[in-house]
Homo-oligomer: A and B are copies of this chain.
Amino acid sequence: MGYEGFVHPDYAPDTKDLVVAFRVKPAKGVSMQKACENLAGESSVGTWTDVKTMKKGIAEKLSAKVYSIKGEQVKVAYPIDLFEPGNMPQVLSSIAGNIYGMKVLDSLRIEDIYFPPKMDKSFLGPKYGVPGVRKLLRVNDRPLVGTIVKPKVGLDWQNHAQVSYDAWVGGLDLVKDDENLSSQRFNPFEKRVVATLKARDKAEKETGERKMYMPNITAETSEMLRRAEFVKKQGGEYAMIDIITCGWSAVQTVREANQDLNMVLHAHRAMHAALTRNKYHGMSMLAVAKIARLIGVDQLHIGTAVGKMEGGPEEVVSIEKEIEGSFIPADTKHNVLAEDWGHIRPVLAVASGGLHPGMVPKLVKLMGKDVVIQMGGGVHGHPKGTRKGAEAARAAVEAASEGVALNEAAKKNKALAEAIGLWGVLK
């Protein structure tokens, strides 16, 4: 068969197929038909030439089928038997493997992946997700609000704990490490966790509120598990992972260990944009987010729509709906497939990157209340420091949740007024 026989315009995929929505640009001089034949062949049972070892029935049973070509939008149905249940790297080696490098293609982007029920059942999904996190934090009526300890790196563990304490008592629910802080000489992981959880206990006692610390356990897999267990033993509830730089095998390993560990897994997406930013090549953040939900992180950075990182409001809101919803309708314009998440719990969306209190009303209007709003510079850059910055952040989130205008709220809260004075209000 070589690379022929993979285009079937009359085929109607069913819920036994895994479906991929691609954006395809054939190489110069290559027809879309040929590009699609190569794409579907290489990602299922084909290769560049006929092979004598092909057995009867294999092509019929396991061939990928290109069933829709509309402009650059191409949809391919993959028989579920092509895949090993519960093995995300294998799924990606099939549908997102060699094909990115084929000479017949100029560029290739995975815009969405439909995971059929059988595939959903082979992954755990989030242990806690939106309802679990809310229950743990005892916050139901507003977005959660947190900070990233700043500077990103360089503080020692005592100062790290002190900054965290200030943020919590100022009013924040959550404090996290930055994505590039793991266990460096100036701030070793274990010393930091012990000191910061002690500060958390103090803050909880003083405020009467639940406070959580999200330490970054990013490392080689065994070390990551050891760090998660250490946090658990010290009384921590959260573990944060840089899911892209760690990779899917390790994320699956941590999630499986989490059946016993019972921690909330916070997923940072550092490096995602190397893969997701180009609209013609790589993979959409939506597809990355679906993979993360299926494997089972509880919280996921999906962009801010308004901050320092790329990703417009439309894209960010569509990703939020995908990870927090149950049934997602198809969106033909954006090459988004329908999805039924079945038993897989919703992941709590995290907005982080260049945010400050003046952006909160617009952010809440766009993303709703089921979101973690994280401000780093937007808290520690407050003219009066972290504690007042946290107070301003919390006040902004409460005002936005209650529908009170930020300038009104600022009249009753000096810290918020000072934040607005420095950074303004985003219209």
Residue numbers of A with Cβ under 8 A of B are 2, 43-55, 58-59, 61-62, 81-84, 86-90, 92-94, 96-98, 100-103, 107-108, 149-155, 159, 163, 179-180, 182-186, 218-224, 242, 245-253, 256, 268, 270-275, 277-278, 281-283, 308-311, 353-354, 356, 376-378, 380-386, 389, 423
Contact = CB atoms under 8 A, between A and B. Distances in A.
Contact of A49 (B50, B102, B377): B377
A103 B52 contact: no
A323 B355 CA distance: 42
Given A249-B249, A309-B98, A354-B48, A282 B275 contact: yes
Given A180-B82, A250-B221, A250-B247, A378 B52 contact: no
B100 A151 contact: no
Contact of A380 (B46, B53, B58): B53
Contacts of A268: 93
B308 A81 contact: no
A45 B154 CA distance: 7
Contacts of A93: 179-180, 182, 218, 242, 245, 268, 270-271
A69 to B, nearest CB: 21
A168 B139 CA distance: 64
Residue of A186, A247, A253 contacting most chain B CB atoms (<10 Å) = A247
Contacts of A309: 98, 101-103
A425 to B, nearest CB: 16
The quantity of this chain's copies bound in the complex is 2
Contacts of A45: 151-154
Given A55-B154, A101-B311, 8 more contacts: A55-B151, A58-B154, A83-B184, A98-B270, A101-B272, A247-B249, A249-B249, A249-B250
Contacts of A183: 84, 87
Contacts of A179: 93, 97-98
B218 A89 contact: yes
A51 B266 CA distance: 24
Contacts of A272: 100-101
Nearest to A242: B93
A153 B44 contact: yes
Given A101-B277, A224-B249, A353-B98, A219 B90 contact: yes
A311 B249 CA distance: 27
A84 B182 contact: yes
A86 B182 CA distance: 12
Residue of A180, A183, A184, A376 contacting most chain B CB atoms (<10 Å) = A180
Nearest to A185: B81
Contacts of A180: 43, 82, 90, 93-94, 97
